[in-house]
Amino acid sequence: MGREFDMEQIQALMKSVAENKIGELCLECEGFKLKIKGQCAASQAATQIPAQAAAIAVTADSAAAAAAGTIASHAKANYLTSPIVGTFYAASAPDKKPFVSPGCRIAKGATAFIVESMKVMNEVPAEMDGIVAEILVKDGEAVEYGQPIIRLE
């Protein structure tokens, strides 16, 4: 028996694709297929988050952007935030080593964590170099769009 989606749910997905600048979203579940194409380049894979929607790390002087809900910043600290609503995972699998841990150095572009959303594992890259000061959520915990996940020094 296939999963039923009503028009309101589909419109919410369409809005999320547009707001998060996702190129394409493909959902396949028990015989049901849905493909939503955003305005981003068609060459982006559906399982990847575009750079604009990837976790954003910034300093406190970006208060105007923070007010728009796209970043999280606190005095002299940089935060990697969740680019989407989903489930946080520190590693690629339960038996694997976490991508980062407190005290380790991370390079810009390196995978910092994963957010699973709609059964798609989205690797989230660091937007800047830094040292991991603190991981703010527990493995397997639900996260919101824009929620601070990792504090960098």
Same domain, 108 and 140: yes
> Is residue 117 situated within a structural domain?
yes
Same domain, 84 and 120: yes
SS3 sequence of 54-70: CCCCCCCCCHHHHHCCC
Q: Give which of 59, 58, 55 is closest to 125, Cα–Cα.
A: 55
Q: Give which of 10, 18, 54, 52 is closest to 35, Cα–Cα.
A: 10
- The arithmetic mean of pLDDT across residues 110-127, rounded, is 94
Same domain, 59 and 110: yes
23-81 pLDDT, tens digit each: 777 777 666 677 777 765 333 443 444 433 333 333 333 333 333 333 344 454 689 99
What's the CA gap between 29 and 34, in Å, rounded?
A: 9
Neighbouring residues of 45: CB distance < 8 A, sequence distance ≥ 6:
23, 24
Q: Which range of residues forms the domain containing residue 75?
A: 54-152
Same domain, 63 and 135: yes
> Is residue 49 situated within a structural domain?
no
- pLDDT at position 14, please? 78
> Is residue 42 situated within a structural domain?
no
Q: Has this prediction a pTM greater than 0.85?
A: no
What's the CA gap between 152 and 57, in Å, rounded?
A: 9
Domain count across the chain:
2
Tokens 């959520």 belong to which residue? 137
Helix (H) or strand (E) holding 9: helix 7-19
What's the CA gap between 120 and 71, in Å, rounded?
A: 23
Same domain, 73 and 146: yes
Same domain, 68 and 143: yes
> Is residue 43 situated within a structural domain?
no
- pLDDT at position 129, please? 93
